[in-house]
Amino acid sequence: MCSDLIKDLSPRTADVIERRFGLKTEKRETLEAIGESYGRTRERIRQLEEEGFSKIRKKIKDEQDVFQYFNQTLELFGGIKKEVLLFNYLVQGEKNFQNQIRFLLILANEFRNFPEDDNFYSFWFTKKNIAITAKKIAKGILRGLKKENRPIILDELFKIQEKDASKIWGKGFNKDIFLSCLEISKNIGKNPEELYGLKNWLEINPRGMKNKAYLVFKKEKRPLHFTEVVKLIEKLPFPSEKQPNLATVHNELIRDSRFVLVGRGLYALKEWGYESGFVKDIIYKTLKGAKRPLTKQEILERVLKQRFVKENTIFLNLQDGNYFARDKEGRYTIREA
């Protein structure tokens, strides 16, 4: 179709359009690059492009079925769709035709494009006010996710945001439109478990072995041996170039202050209330926090909440007279210096 539309143009004008949109190759060239090859200014190349478009637009009346299909497809998504998703849908994954799709969409005046910026991906829409409205909704979704502070499945996220978003959009708002607005945001991502959240959240985009280890603990909600952490990292659905190994993961658990050693090779998250230090340190902190002498049984119960060790290990540490003192009733206190 694209070849038929440009076949009656002058050779130079046809070449400019083919190179500008990458119709013969996947590479799209800038006005400057094309101008340099012809020894012409950027503005002159732009004029040739516009002249070509003016002639081509007179011929597209015979191709209305194609443009009607484009319009119907966009309307399926509420009249707006992220460019890469729209193109994939239109060409059914055939990347070789995406440049042709872009050329035809630009050719037809009924479609509009929002160019990519710092906060939004490039997207296409049908009505003038849709871009502003969609960006408002996307920003509202972002605020909502920050407030929830947790990854959420699409259905739940839609229920949370539906009332506010529908007020912005107006009549006919639905989940498909909501998804189209969500997808254009560069700050929102989806993980392989179909959960949505902020792109910089570990649950959405964990980077590095230590963050994947942290995510494993968050998911399991229990202390883990470092060998089990490695196995669970391997089961995470996130793509990874590097496979976890025992030494790397163990070193990350040792170095990162988010993790606390609570037993032999056993780690837990500090945010769960686990204190760092040796068993003797935990006994010391326990007695200091109690602000009264404690019996052996009281110390045992409190320390075992912090450390997965044998009772004898705790009793042996209690016998260190440099740190702990025992009164006549058999209760323990911190030895005064």
**Number of structural domains, the chain?**
4
Q: Which residue, chain included where needed, has tokens 């010391």?
A: 284
The ranges of the chain with pLDDT < 50 are none
Examine the fold and report which residue of 198, 223, 251 is the final residue of a domain before the chain moves on.
198
Which two structure tokens, joined as six digits, stand for 304? 């075992």
| Whole-number pLDDT of residue 283 | 95
| Whole-number pLDDT of residue 218 | 92
| Whole-number pLDDT of residue 297 | 94
Q: Model confidence over 312-336: pLDDT tens digits?
A: 999 999 998 889 999 999 999 998 8
- Which helix (H) or strand (E) is 330 found in, with range? none
β-strands 266-269, 332-334 pairing: unpaired
Task: Give the chain's length.
Answer: 337
Which two structure tokens, joined as six digits, stand for 272? 């769960």
| Whole-number pLDDT of residue 327 | 92
Say if residue 81 is in the same domain as residue 156: yes
Dihedral of CA atoms 330, 332, 336, 337 in degrees, nearest 10, equals: 100
Say if residue 174 is in the same domain as residue 85: yes
Q: What is the DSSP string of 164-223?
A: HHHHHH-TT--HHHHHHHHHTBSSEEE-TTSEEEETTSTTTS--HHHHHHHHHHHHH-S-
In a domain, 246, yes or no: yes
d(CA 152, CA 195): 5
Q: Model confidence over 33-52: pLDDT tens digits?
A: 999 998 989 999 999 988 88
In a domain, 203, yes or no: no
Say if residue 172 is in the same domain as residue 140: yes
Distance from the first to the final alpha carbon of the chain? 91
Examine the fold and report which residue of 272, 288, 303 is the final residue of a domain before the chain moves on.
272
| Whole-number pLDDT of residue 99 | 83
User: From start to end of 27-122, where are the E strands?
Assistant: 80-82, 112-114
Which two structure tokens, joined as six digits, stand for 213? 């280890």
Domain residues for the domain of 313 are 279-334
Report the CATH number that the domain containing residue 227 is assigned in CATH: 1.10.10
